[in-house]
């Protein structure tokens, strides 16, 4: 895509990466300059390497051909249109689906993998869209002043995080689940914390606007609406 954009004469492009580009043991919150300072998380190393290659490819085209290709690194995203599959969804939509099903089935408990102690950061997709447009619309002079030629990517997130336990409790409260949340500590926790340092983007003038609880509530409402529509088409 990056090469064909150049071949077609596209002068401005935005590449979306991922917070997994940073080393497994990066200092928290993770700053942009943590890139390539240590080993990646083994379970998503191939994905991370692909995203890092994209960053470096954009930077290389900028240096060699004078293009204006920019890269943003989102934190965990959620919102309407997410994947709520019980088999392969990410943590927040998975919790929404499982806790909703528990309410519907009047289950006494929901079992959640891990201790509930790891912390994660979340950003609503509408905020991500707004941040992407903001970065694309930045004047070239401003973008160059706030970045470096070989370290040009920008973290995008809320700069705040919650434990998985706190996240599950919020979803349970919004969905009206009255049962017990039980955490299975025999299951893996994953990385203890993954928080983005969003100071670079804040210095440019953008911060998130949708608080997590408000975003979860809106996402759950959308989820219910979609399920109602699916049932009406059966």
173-221 pLDDT, tens per residue? Answer: 999 999 999 999 999 888 889 999 999 999 999 999 999 999 999 999 9
* 22 classed as catalytic: no
**Once rounded to an integer, what is the mean pLDDT over residues 30-55?**
95
Query: Over pLDDT 70: what percentage of the chain?
Result: 97
pLDDT value, residue 229: 67
Q: What are phi and psi of 211, to 5 degrees?
A: -65, 150
pLDDT(231) > 70: no
The pLDDT score that the predictor gives to residue 233 is: 46
**Active-site residue, from 6, 47, 69, 78:** 47
Question: Which of 1-5, 85-89, 161-165 is least confident?
Answer: 85-89
Mean pLDDT value across the chain: 94
Instruction: Give buried/exposed letters for 129-148 (b at 16+ CB in 10 A, else e).
Output: ebbbebbeebeeeebeeebe
Output the domain CATH number for residue 137: 3.40.50.720
Q: State how many domains the chain has.
A: 1
Over 60: is that where the pLDDT of 234 sits? Answer: no
126 within 8 A of 202, measured Cβ to Cβ: no
Q: What is the pLDDT of residues 47-88, one digit of tens each?
A: 999 999 999 999 999 999 999 999 999 999 999 999 998 888
Residue 106 CB contacts under 8 Å (≥ 6 apart), including other chains: none
Q: Beta-carbon neighbour count of residue 101 at 10 Å?
A: 14
Phi then psi for 159, rounded to 5 degrees? 75, 10
* Domain containing residue 66: 2-232
């Amino acid at each position: 895509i990056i090469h064909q954009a150049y071949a077609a004469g596209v002068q401005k492009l935005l590449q979306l990466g991922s917070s997994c580009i940073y080393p497994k043991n990066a200092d928290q919150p993770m700053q942009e300059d943590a890139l390539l300072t240590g080993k990646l998380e083994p379970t998503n190393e191939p994905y991370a390497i692909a995203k890092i290659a994209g960053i470096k490819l954009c930077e290389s085209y900028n240096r060699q051909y004078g293009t204006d290709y920019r890269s943003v690194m989102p934190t965990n995203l959620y919102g309407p249109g997410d994947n709520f599959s019980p088999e392969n969804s990410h943590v927040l939509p998975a919790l929404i689906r499982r806790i909703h099903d528990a309410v519907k089935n009047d289950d006494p408990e929901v079992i959640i993998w891990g201790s509930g102690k790891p912390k994660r950061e979340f950003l609503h997709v509408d905020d991500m869209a707004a941040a992407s447009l903001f970065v694309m619309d930045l004047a070239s002079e401003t973008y160059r002043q706030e970045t470096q030629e070989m370290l040009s990517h920008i973290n995008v997130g809320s700069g705040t995080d919650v434990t998985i336990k706190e996240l599950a409790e919020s979803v349970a409260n919004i969905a009206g689940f009255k049962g017990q949340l039980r955490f299975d500590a025999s299951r893996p926790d994953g990385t203890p914390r993954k928080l983005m340092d969003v100071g670079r983007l804040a210095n440019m003038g953008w911060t998130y606007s949708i608080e997590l609880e408000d975003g979860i509530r809106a996402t759950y409402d959308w989820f219910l609406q979609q399920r109602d529509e699916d049932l009406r088409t059966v």
